[in-house]
Amino acid sequence: MNMAKRMPPEVLDYLRSMGKAYGKMGGKKSAQNLTPEERSARAKKASIAAAQKRTAERLAREATGKPGKKPIKQKGPRP
């Protein structure tokens, strides 16, 4: 049973305007309130998540056999 209640349109308009006005401040403001260790932990977590996503995408590409980006040529000694 879904007991969701609908909000009046004027309330939705107000919430949208508040989100538009103050929504972009969220990340910068929270970063100012964090200690350097907390910021570092947050950045590390984001970096690990991005690497895992890239790896999953690469593995999916390799599994389907579709070519993706060209491999980077390794620089080595020239004959």
Rounded mean pLDDT, 61-75: 73
Contact status, residue 51 vs residue 59, Cβ threshold 8 Å = no
Question: CB under 8 Å to 43, separation ≥6 — which residues?
Answer: none
pLDDT in tens, 37-59: 999 999 999 999 999 999 999 99
Position 25 confidence tier, pLDDT thresholds 50, 70, 90: confident
CA distance 46 to 31: 14
Rounded CA separation 27/41 (Å): 15
Q: Can you give the pLDDT at residue 6? A: 86
pLDDT at residue 1 greater than cutoff 60:
no
pLDDT of 70: 67
Identify the H or E element spanning 61. helix 36-64
Look up residue 26 and give its amino acid.
G
